[in-house]
Structure 1
């Protein structure tokens, strides 16, 4: 059970960082990825499991959901993303039972990300992209100090099957929608699942 973590606090230390100013001006999500086409590869540190994650290592082996999330600092969560982070973590096992990995990408730095992993008791991999290179490669947009949330469902060959880009009406794809997508691409879990 998740201990009581406030959505935000009055501690704004670390908020006005170079990352904040780099992502301050709004840029709308403009991802023009086509379905059935491979998405950009990346390599990022997984702060949950203390390893490096290469997206290409899943290709040919396991479907993946890349879930970009919006966390300002270890004490300042986006109010639209916090419930999504918590529910995705709570239901992570449902995805892995289907043989689908969930990679959550944040723009918080290593120190902040480790605190997020601890405070939210994350089970799913939290990948740190403080420079925002992967966010920009996927063209998810940005506003008011942080990249925008988005979700991409990739089949076992790394091809795009589903994407959800931020909108104020639906900031994140519902967990039910992501589970439906996971069911549609799920295959028996092979022995060589990345883990």
Structure 2
């Protein structure tokens, strides 16, 4: 299995399709990491839509999205499910951040978090405004997730 990218190195670039829920309407579009320079991005890799821990994690991040935007950051959720699953997940829970689909697990492998037969390790990567990886957390078991306060403190420390 590939290792995760090193801190201080450029974050692996990618383009993935996503769903975005806004005011009850869902749009689909492509998200390319390198096209979002200028602000930090939290890449929240999660194993599956509508699973207990993933739902708690994505709801926590969405419910406190203003704390991320307050420190100038965006949050992207990334998992191997397709856009239809992401749309149902976003609508069911009112998730306001983009949910990116990586069904081929290309990006998941590029970030070194693939688990053969199981999908992926729950992980969070913080990419700074210049596209450099500044912080990461890769869960061993995936039964917990990084709280908003921890992530926003890390983002604020970039300043």
TM range (shorter): 0.7 to 0.9
> How far apart in 2 are the matches of 1:93 and 1:169?
25
Confirm or deny that 1:132 pairs with 2:105.
yes
Query: Which of 137, 147, 153 matches 1:164?
Result: 137
Structure 1 residue 155: deviation in Å?
A: 0.8
What TM-score does the superposition give when structure 2 sets the normalisation length? Answer: 0.87
Separation in 2 of the partners of 1:89 and 1:169?
19
Structure with higher Rg: it is 1
* 1:98-177 map, 5 Å: 98-142=71-115, 144-168=117-141, 171-177=144-150
2:46 aligned with 1:54: no
TM-score normalised to structure 1 length: 0.72
Q: What SS does the aligned partner of 2:156 have?
A: helix
CA shift at 1:80, angstroms? Answer: 3.0
| 1:80 aligned counterpart, secondary structure | helix
Tell me the residue number matched to 2:23: none
Q: Unaligned 5+ residue runs, structure 1?
A: 1-26, 187-195
Q: Displacement of 1:32 after TM fit?
A: 3.7
Deviation at 1:143, TM superposition (A): 5.5
RMSD between superposed Cα atoms in Å: 1.9
Higher helix share: 2
What is the deviation of 1:31?
Answer: 2.9
